[in-house]
Structure 1
């Protein structure tokens, strides 16, 4: 029987979320608590009339919508089947055997999988207080480091570095190290932290910023991500992207969602209010919850046994949070913001477990 190549055979499969059965309410995927913009849904339905045609390989209307919203050049923008595709292509383009990819202790786990696919070494810089530390990242940079990945806001922590620290990181990194700032949850922080300051780093030629439509735009099922790239980097990454990678309907939905800024801001406000209320209620139970700048909260229990007991009690009532053992946080559960009545049910169950 034929076998896979050694590097693939040695890889661990990417850990997918346990979603339970069809009756389970998942708080494990960081999906939006609210539906997508009505304008986006209408655009998707209309676009299905063109389903017999291949999608626009240049994502022309979508790139225009993104560029107009963020004051960028459309030529700087690449779109992918989720930001995961863009991240995977970045690693394959700029890392490989003999090169290192540097992430952080609690950074996005898919980066490690992408590095393994490229046969690059993956290292993690320690975080401080569940927050990325620029100084610890710089301490871990070696002559083999080709890419530094920073997830900001962080997943699964929800914590945030101010723009000034991201800018300091770029200034201190060697010029030939590519900095990738993964901003999957940035819309939840944009009102307090000017996004143009981070996009401006792209002009230096060695920084990429990635974002997604899966969270604040409520289009996780459409699989659309995008990034702002220096033009030379965009040329190399585009060689590795699948042609026609974003479907006709997904492009139409994402473009309409990007143009419906009022609706997105409404989702962010409502999600943030639910998140903050739930976080306060958890803290009142004596649980540790870092301040979150996303659509989820990380809940730290006094010990692993209580985290497992809470997980079990939630599952008994068909509620599912995300266990964090894979991140070395076995005393934690991550809870996606969901409908208010679901969050209240979670609080009740946690109170019973802790009492």
Structure 2
């Protein structure tokens, strides 16, 4: 019998979303409620005649677009097949057996999977009231800690800490600890917290900032993300990236979407209106819903049983939210924000369950 190496055999597979029965509307994957930019679609279509060619491994247009939008040095931008690829490569480059990777209670679950792949230990710092606590992170750091991951805004909580807190965290971490700030949902909070303060940390040489086009830009299917890296760290991570990791059409779509900031901002604004209305409706039903800075809302029920009843009723109505048992929040469901009509259908079902 052919056997895998022991640490892979002992790993749990990364938990994929349950997409339900055919005809079910998914509110489980935090995809955009609205289409991507028409300019992005057109750019992708125009790129189709280049399919006999390999993608450019330097991502020139995508890099240039990120640089234009955020005022960043293009040589310090690395692009990945979603931010997941960049996270995995970072961990493989900077952690190994016996090392610790530190996240938080409700941080991005893929970080734990990527850590297990290199036989390092994934440890969680406590969050307080479903929000990242810088003091608890600092208390959890040991001499074995190599990387600290912070998801801000958070998933699945939707909560956010101020940029000043992230800066305080960086200033109080040792210089040999890599800080990774995952900002997958940052476009939903950039109007509140200007991103430059966090990007400026990269110049220190010990911080990486991640972003994706899967959420606010509506390009989850294109698998395009990027990160801003110190020069030395970018050099090492680049060794581990697939050299043709983002397709020609996806690179073209990503660049065009980034250059259509007006469309992205309109999506963010429309999503926020629907999200806040839905959240308030759920609070009026007696649910606990923390203020969200993302394209989803976390719904807290009185008990695990009540959450399960709601899940079953939603499924019966062909509506599927994401159960949060894997995060230790079995009394919660996470609802991706969709169109107003879908969110109202969810409220109707929840009202029936809670009455």
TM superposition score category, shorter chain reference: over 0.9
Cα distance, 1:98 vs structure 2: 1.5
Shift of 1:22: 2.3
What is the TM-score of this pair, normalised by structure 1?
1.00
Superposition pairs of residues 58-207 of structure 1, within 5 angstroms: 58-207=58-207
Q: Gaps (5+ residues) in structure 1?
A: none
Which residue does 2:254 correspond to in 1? 254
Mapping of 1:1-355 within 5 angstroms?
1-355=1-355
Q: Distance in 1 between matches of 2:293 and 2:222?
A: 23
Cα deviations across residues 106-132 of structure 1 (Å, max 9, x unaligned)?
A: 000000000000111100001000000
Q: Tell me, what secondary structure is at the counterpart of 1:208?
A: strand
Distance 2:86 2:275 in 1: 29
Name the CA distance, whole Å, in 1 between partners of 2:67 and 2:117.
Answer: 31
Residue deviations 1:186-241 (CA, integer Å, cap 9, x gap): 00000010100000000000000000000000000000010000000000000000
Hey, what's the Cα distance between the residues in 1 that align with 2:343 and 2:156?
18
Residue 92 of structure 1, CA deviation: 0.3
Q: Secondary structure at the match of 1:103?
A: strand
CA RMSD of superposed structures (Å): 0.4
Task: Give the 4+ runs in structure 1 shifted more than 3 A.
Answer: none
Unpaired segments ≥5 residues, structure 2: none
Q: 3-state SS of the aligned residue for 1:102?
A: strand
CA distance in 2, matches of 1:283, 1:25: 23
- Using the TM superposition, give the Cα deviation of residue 348 of structure 1 relative to its aligned residue in structure 2, in angstroms: 0.4
Deviations 1:32-61 (A, max 9, x none): 000000000000000011011001100011
- Indicate the SS of the match to 1:232: helix
More deviation, 181-190/15-24: 15-24
Q: Distance in 2 between matches of 1:301 and 1:342?
A: 20
SS in 1 for 2:128: coil
In structure 1, distance between residues paired with 2:21 and 2:225 = 28
What CA distance in whole angstroms lies between the structure 2 residues aligned with 1:287 and 1:21? 26
Q: Distance in 1 between matches of 2:304 and 2:327?
A: 13
Deviation at 1:21?
Answer: 2.2
| 1:239-281 deviation per Cα after TM superposition (whole angstroms, max 9, x unaligned) | 0001110000000000000000000000000001110000000
- TM-score (ref. length: structure 2): 1.00
